[in-house]
A and B are shown apart, each in its own frame.
Chain A
Amino acid sequence: DAMVIQNPRYQVTQFGKPVTLSCSQTLNHNVMYWYQQKSSQAPKLLFHYYDKDFNNEADTPDNFQSRRPNTSFCFLDIRSPGLGDAAMYLCATSRDSRGIEKLFFGSGTQLSVL
């Protein structure tokens, strides 16, 4: 049973054309995360929501925005994608935000920017 679902699996966009990636969860977890993972690199946390509270990482570019309209869904908006934004975008959830909490990841959306 899929618990964290990301759509689409593959997304191609043009340089500068806004794109939205989506994530849904059936776990009813409080926390949802967005990570960016480039080839052979560590996943990099962009931001997370604890319920409706938004937490942005200090080095996340302004080009990246997020919305969480309800517990189940979270969106990543890239306002003006650049070539350097091509990456795998991973959504994850956890029950709480304590350090020991297990993260449940989706399969990711592979974004290509032409």
Chain B
Amino acid sequence: QKEVEQDPGPLSVPEGAIVSLNCTYSNSAFQYFMWYRQYSRKGPELLMYTYSSGNKEDGRFTAQVDKSSKYISLFIRDSQPSDSATYLCAISQGNLIFGKGTKLSVKP
């Protein structure tokens, strides 16, 4: 089993939709969970990070961690065409372990 699993999509939604992106992980010792956004032909940029279980909100974005299920989620409310990108979950155990990324397309 890979350490971080992420459905690569692609995921296509209409503008204004609520988007749910998810990852699962295998090692219960992981403590820091991050979401990076990568636009086409660009490097990833940190979107959000969380520590321990619970929710963290930043504008239209909410990151959720369920340690009991080893499941992390990123929700995007009122999605915009500018949100079209690949979203990578990342889990830290010293170095970051990235998921494959989910390619999201938000159609006007």
Contact = CB atoms under 8 A, between A and B. Distances in A.
B43 A40 contact: no
Interface in B65-108: 88, 92-101, 103
A100 B51 contact: yes
Contact of B100 (A40, A97, A106): A40
A16 B95 CA distance: 31
A107 B43 contact: yes
Q: How large is the interface on A (under 10, 10 to 19, 20 to 34, 35 or more residues)?
A: 10 to 19
Contact of A100 (B8, B36, B49, B103): B49
A103 B36 CA distance: 10
A10 B48 CA distance: 29
B42 A107 contact: yes
A18 interface: no
Given A103-B46, A106-B43, A108-B42, A42 B4 contact: yes
A52 interface: no
Interface of B: 4, 6, 8, 31-32, 36, 41-46, 49, 51, 88, 92-101, 103
Interface of A: 4, 40-43, 45, 48, 90, 92, 97, 99-100, 102-103, 105-108, 110
